[in-house]
Copies of this chain bind each other. A is one copy, B any other.
């Protein structure tokens, strides 16, 4: 029901809308995402939803689980996903070799959250969208999944709204304004950023923000 076990025993697959983790559950392992996207989120009354983390190919989902407390927010697949499941006993020697990469995942995730606090608290709609598109492109690029200045972006405008704290309607209108100014090309789940430098300026990003 949750996932189908593949030929290799620690390889797992998910379909869109399937849960990688439910609220208040102690996951028994970390997922190393090999293909596909997932997100962590929280629902509020009135159907309001806020996405609090995105997991892309190459990402660890979810570093915090190794710190030994139940996940307080569900994680769900946004696309088809192929992932490798690794037990997460922090105290054990299991992270002996992957320790560096694990801590990097955790620190990256922590820092991204801090960056998004700034964006959600203080930035305009266009600044938020610029931040998101730049971050996603940069993360895809670092995983070798960008081609020139383009990459896949399998999010609906509603997903984007739930990440940026906007409404789908306003995301649509703001994206149109950005397209009209030649800042981004975004169609058919494919993103192209003609000029990274210009978009960075529009995103009002701090010079120190790596977006990794």
State the A residues within 8 Å of B (CB).
23-24, 40, 42, 44-45, 48-50, 52-53, 64, 67-69, 72-73, 90, 103, 106-107, 109-111, 113-114, 116-118, 120-123, 164-165, 204, 206, 208-209
- With a cutoff of 8 Å between Cβ atoms, the chain B residues found around residue A67 in the complex are 103, 106-107, 110
- With a cutoff of 8 Å between Cβ atoms, the chain B residues found around residue A209 in the complex are 72
- With a cutoff of 8 Å between Cβ atoms, the chain B residues found around residue A45 in the complex are 204
- With a cutoff of 8 Å between Cβ atoms, the chain B residues found around residue A121 in the complex are 50, 120, 164-165
Q: A110-B110, A114-B72 are in contact. Are A122 and B208 (CB under 8 A)?
A: no
- With a cutoff of 8 Å between Cβ atoms, the chain B residues found around residue A110 in the complex are 64, 67, 109-110, 113
Which of A48, A64, A121 has the most chain B CB within a 10 Å cutoff? Answer: A121
Instruction: Kindly report how many copies of this chain are found in the complex they form together.
Output: 2
Instruction: Decide: B68 and A103 in contact? CB cutoff 8 A.
Output: yes
Q: A42-B206, A72-B111, A73-B114 are in contact. Are A50 and B103 (CB under 8 A)?
A: no
Instruction: Decide: A52 and B165 in contact? CB cutoff 8 A.
Output: no
Q: A114-B53, A118-B50 are in contact. Are A123 and B44 (CB under 8 A)?
A: yes
How far does the alpha carbon of A68 sit from the alpha carbon of B106 in the complex, in Å? Answer: 11
Q: A67-B103, A110-B64 are in contact. Are A118 and B208 (CB under 8 A)?
A: no
Q: A23-B208, A123-B44, A209-B72 are in contact. Are A64 and B117 (CB under 8 A)?
A: no
- With a cutoff of 8 Å between Cβ atoms, the chain B residues found around residue A52 in the complex are 114, 117-118
Instruction: Decide: A208 and B72 in contact? CB cutoff 8 A.
Output: yes
What is the minimal beta-carbon distance from A169 to any residue of chain B, in angstroms?
A: 16
Instruction: Decide: A118 and B44 in contact? CB cutoff 8 A.
Output: yes
